[in-house]
């Protein structure tokens, strides 16, 4: 059962899935997009603190579910902005989580944490009220061992490359420290300029001031803003970055004249932005970023579709990333056209699209990616990074876009020790999906073995320009 988890119940398909999976399960992990803190690797002696600090407090998948069933975030140790007291007893928090762990049944978090406890921490037990304290103690004991320091785990996990996500204003000091340390683990930054590009960012003006500082270019107008961004991209590239990342509420793009862009930028500097300014400027900057990518070669990622901070009470009390971001429907055919009109046929450009509206996989995204040379489709994201989500994605995308216009897998996580479990789910889901195609005669064995290796490893590596190596054929 354990060996065949996530494979089809049908014996014939399961047998094929197992054989396909066997060929990739030990391949190195390519992690081209995620949110792990580079600090973990800068200090060779970094040690994770408590199980709750490691597994619960940073995981909005888990605490949002608890909150949805009436458990106060304060009781789970989530910090309040006003500094008022929250639960500090991590054993008590862990007990609360275990008491309500049944709420997670059937969710990806449930299987990730189960697989992680078993395969990383050697704890093969189901979390419940009775064993909560024993499990806590067992994890705690492991975390004190040298083998559970991040660098050691990185090596044990066979991670070939791990990309972090970093603000345009980040000096990448942690990345520099990793390099200086001589440790050979490949940790690379990703250029994410949202805070300076999206005019409605809280304290935008402070981010612009920081941008001036770190770039050495005084950002006083649109032109110097562009120059400062180009300077930062060069710096990120010098530190190993191969990609940029951009988040927007929609895929809206628009090609402003320099005069219009300048006018909006000046209004923003003067804190007198008009209602539509932020959306139009972001839409324009996406095209401008595509222009830069076509010149400097950074792979461009675009994540759209989330209505951030939907619950004002939670936002006021706890801040952002508290599990209160809600997807919206999305549109690409019209929204992305201005960008594609200018750069869709560009040879030296890759744009990877991520989206939170599954209906768009088959309707707009696969047809777009199956035509435009610059486009690749990112793996199922966020709520859809799941067994059903992966099946829906593959079923919806591959018939039209082919496999080779997808970007492989990325784990997109800040939970470092969960990385192997997440890749394993993808590899198993991919093997099972291919086993379905093979058992129904859609593809043959040769195809299936090539495709599983591409899905598990090569597609991510080549899409993100992480090496010159080719697909498996």
Site for its own copies in 35-74 (CB under 8 A): 64-65, 67-70
Task: Scan residues 273-302 and list those touching its own copies (CB under 8 A).
Answer: none
Q: How far is the CB of 289 from its own copies (least distance, A)?
A: 20
- C-alpha to C-alpha distance for 203 and 195, rounded to whole angstroms: 9
CB of 267 to its own copies, least distance (A): 26
Instruction: Provide the minimum distance between the beta carbon of 365 and its own copies in the complex, in angstroms, as a whole number.
Output: 10
Establish if 201 lies at the interface with its own copies (CB under 8 A): no
Question: Could you say whether residue 98 binds its own copies (CB under 8 A)?
Answer: no
Kindly tell me which residue out of 34, 193, 389, 408 binds its own copies, with binding defined by CB under 8 A: 389
34 binds its own copies (CB under 8 A): no
- Residue among 415 and 452 whose Cβ is closer to its own copies: 452
Is 403 near its own copies (CB under 8 A)? yes
Could you say whether residue 9 binds its own copies (CB under 8 A)?
Answer: yes
Residue 344 makes contact with its own copies by CB under 8 A: yes
The Cα–Cα gap between 302 and 285 comes to 12
Q: Does 315 bind its own copies (CB under 8 A)?
A: no
Nearer to its own copies, 7 or 48 (CB): 7
193 or 305: CB nearest its own copies? 305
Among 49, 81, 102, 470, binds its own copies (CB under 8 A): 102
Give the footprint of its own copies on residues 434-473 (CB under 8 A). 435-437, 439-444, 446-447, 450-451, 471, 473
Residue with smaller CB distance to its own copies, 86 or 443:
443
Under rule CB under 8 A, which residues in 350-379 are in contact with its own copies?
A: 356-359, 362-364, 366-373, 375
The answer to whether 320 and 194 have CB atoms below 8 angstroms apart is: no
Closest approach of its own copies to the CB of residue 7, in Å: 6
Taking CB under 8 A as the binding criterion, the range among 8-16, 140-148, 168-176, 264-272 that sits at the site for its own copies is: 8-16
Closer CB to its own copies, residue 190 or residue 355? Answer: 355
- Cα(46)–Cα(302) distance, integer angstroms: 32
Report the C-alpha gap between 200 and 192 in whole angstroms.
16
Site for its own copies, residues 317 to 336, rule: CB under 8 A: 323-329, 331, 333-334
Decide if residue 307 touches its own copies (CB under 8 A). Answer: yes
Nearer to its own copies, 222 or 318 (CB): 318
From candidates 51, 108, 150, 193, binder to its own copies by CB under 8 A: 108
Q: How far is CA 171 from CA 167, 177, 211, 226, in A?
A: 9, 11, 10, 18
The answer to whether residue 104 forms part of the interface with its own copies (CB under 8 A) is yes
Q: Which is nearer to its own copies, 8 or 138 (CB)?
A: 8
- CA triplet 31, 179, 420: central angle to 5 degrees? 25
Q: Nearer to its own copies by C-beta: 59 or 166?
A: 59
Number of residues lying near its own copies (CB under 8 A): 97
Q: Is the distance from CB of 169 to CB of 211 less than 8 angstroms? A: yes
Minimum distance from CB of 421 to its own copies (Å)? 13
Site map 126..165 versus its own copies, x via CB under 8 A: x---------------------------------------
Choose which of 42, 55, 78, 111 interacts with its own copies (CB under 8 A).
111
Q: What distance in Å separates the CA atoms of residue 341 and residue 367, rounded to the nearest whole number? A: 16
Among 10, 22, 89, 276, binds its own copies (CB under 8 A): 10
Contact 252, 270 (CB under 8 A): no
């Amino acid at each position: 059962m354990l060996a065949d988890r996530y494979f089809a119940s049908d014996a014939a398909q399961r047998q094929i899935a197992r054989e396909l999976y066997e060929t990739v399960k030990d391949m190195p992990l390519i992690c081209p997009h995620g949110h792990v803190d580079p600090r973990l690797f800068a200090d060779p002696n970094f040690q994770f603190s408590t199980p709750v600090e490691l597994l619960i407090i940073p995981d909005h998948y888990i605490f949002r579910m608890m909150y949805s069933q009436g458990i106060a975030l304060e009781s789970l140790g989530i910090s309040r902005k006003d500094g008022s007291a929250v639960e500090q007893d991590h054993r008590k928090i862990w007990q609360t989580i275990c008491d309500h762990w049944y709420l997670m049944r059937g969710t990806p978090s449930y299987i990730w944490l189960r697989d992680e406890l078993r395969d990383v921490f050697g704890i093969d037990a189901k979390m419940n009220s009775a064993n909560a304290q024993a499990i806590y103690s067992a994890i705690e004991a492991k975390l004190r061992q040298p083998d559970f320091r991040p660098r050691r785990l990185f090596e044990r996990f066979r991670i070939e490359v791990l990309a972090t996500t970093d603000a345009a204003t980040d000096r990448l000091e942690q990345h520099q420290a990793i390099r200086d340390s001589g440790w050979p683990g490949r940790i690379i930054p990703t250029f994410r300029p949202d805070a300076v590009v999206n005019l409605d960012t809280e304290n935008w003006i402070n981010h612009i001031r920081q941008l001036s500082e770190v770039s050495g270019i005084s950002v006083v107008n649109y032109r110097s803003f562009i120059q400062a961004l180009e300077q930062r991209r060069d710096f990120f590239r010098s530190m190993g970055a191969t990609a940029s990342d951009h988040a927007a509420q929609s895929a809206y793009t628009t090609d402003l004249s320099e005069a219009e862009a300048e006018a909006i930028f000046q209004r923003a500097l003067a804190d007198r932005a008009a209602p539509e300014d932020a959306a139009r400027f972001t839409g324009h900057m996406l095209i401008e970023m595509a222009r830069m990518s076509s010149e400097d070669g950074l792979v461009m990622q675009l994540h759209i579709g989330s209505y951030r901070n939907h619950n004002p009470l939670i936002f006021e009390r706890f801040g952002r990333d508290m599990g209160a971001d809600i997807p919206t429907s999305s549109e690409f055919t019209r929204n992305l056209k201005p960008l594609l009109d200018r750069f869709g046929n560009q040879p030296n450009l890759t744009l990877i699209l991520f989206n939170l509206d599954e209906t768009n996989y088959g309707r707009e995204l696969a047809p777009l990616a199956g035509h435009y040379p610059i486009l690749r489709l990112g793996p199922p994201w966020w709520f859809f990074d799941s067994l059903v989500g992966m099946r829906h994605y593959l079923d919806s995308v591959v018939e039209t876009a082919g496999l080779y216009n997808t970007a492989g897998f990325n784990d997109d996580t800040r939970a470092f020790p969960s990385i192997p479990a997440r890749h394993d789910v993808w590899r198993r889901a991919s093997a099972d999906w291919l086993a379905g195609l093979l058992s129904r005669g859609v593809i043959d064995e040769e195809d299936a073995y090539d495709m599983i290796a591409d899905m598990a490893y090569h597609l991510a590596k080549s899409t993100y320009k992480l090496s010159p190596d080719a697909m498996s054929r």
